[in-house]
Chains A and B, each alone.
Chain A
Amino acid sequence: MKKVNKITFLGLFTAMALILSFLETLIPNIVPIPGFKIGLANFAVLMALYLYGFKEALIVDLVRILLSAILFGSFFSFFYALSGAALALTIELIIKKTDKFSPVGVSVFGAIFHNLGQFLLAGFIIRSLGIFYYLPFTLIFCILTGFFNGYLVTILKDRLKNIKK
């Protein structure tokens, strides 16, 4: 029963992440990196991380990235999204483990490294640092999103604790 419950909720989180990913595609891209997003969908991933754990958050994130690339992205956007997400989730896990930050800090760190991951990959592929011109702007947007994601998770994680029963 517990397992069915968990699968159901992870499915819900994935669906939510996918909806948020779709909403993000409606926001004009401020930087010409395919699949660059301000990170709304990370809310659902963070929820999975706080309610279950790293493995579960990774599954939600991977399924979201794969499905959103198929539904509203491209082959390229899949890899940029993946590189950013992998770095972000790793950092979030490390920062969470230190226990020095609330979900807000964890989320903001994730947002910063999500940005850096995508910019580094883009810079490496194009062999130019020109793209980094946009980094301060995207960081401001992504940190704002990260702040709200983390704040929502802070409020919701305790209220939703009993879904695991």
Chain B
Amino acid sequence: MKKSDLILIAIAVIILIPIALLLVNTKSGDKALVKSDGQTIDVLDLSVDGTYRYENKYGFNIVEVRDKNVRVIEADCPGHDCINKGFIKRNNESVICLPHHFEVIISSDKEEYDVVVQ
């Protein structure tokens, strides 16, 4: 290993670890934006449980809201990566279905991060 290898890895660690910690400590969101081709087509209130079906020219996705969590439960995409992603709940977290250009992203009107300062 060379010195520049160590510098590269050190920079990566210094930048990435705090960002990852910040993201993990993000508060749960209170709504989910449903997007198709980048356009918001629906806004779901996470305090109301339910299942919703969306269809565009690429295919369909069925989204479930349960206990302030969101997931895709059914879709006709190849690979089913969107279903395998499972539940999401944190602010800015998203589940995407690339073959369908479909995305559900958590959002919030409240403050973004948990305050851990004592």
Contact = CB atoms under 8 A, between A and B. Distances in A.
Co-complex (A, B)? yes
Interface stretch (A49-57, A60-68, A97-105): A97-105
Interface of A: 28-29, 32-34, 74-77, 80, 100-102, 104-105, 108-109, 112, 122, 125-128, 130-131, 133, 136-137, 139-140, 143, 147, 150-151, 154
Classify the interface of chain A: helix, strand, loop or mixed: helix
Contact of B16 (A105, A125, A140, A147): A140
B73 interface: no
A154 B35 CA distance: 46
A162 to B, nearest CB: 23
Given A100-B4, A101-B2, A136-B19, A108 B96 contact: no
**Can you list the 5 inter-chain pairs with the closest CB atoms, starting with the nearest?**
A127-B38, A130-B94, A105-B5, A32-B81, A32-B85
A151 B1 CA distance: 8
Contacts, number: 104
A126 B103 contact: yes
B2 A34 contact: no
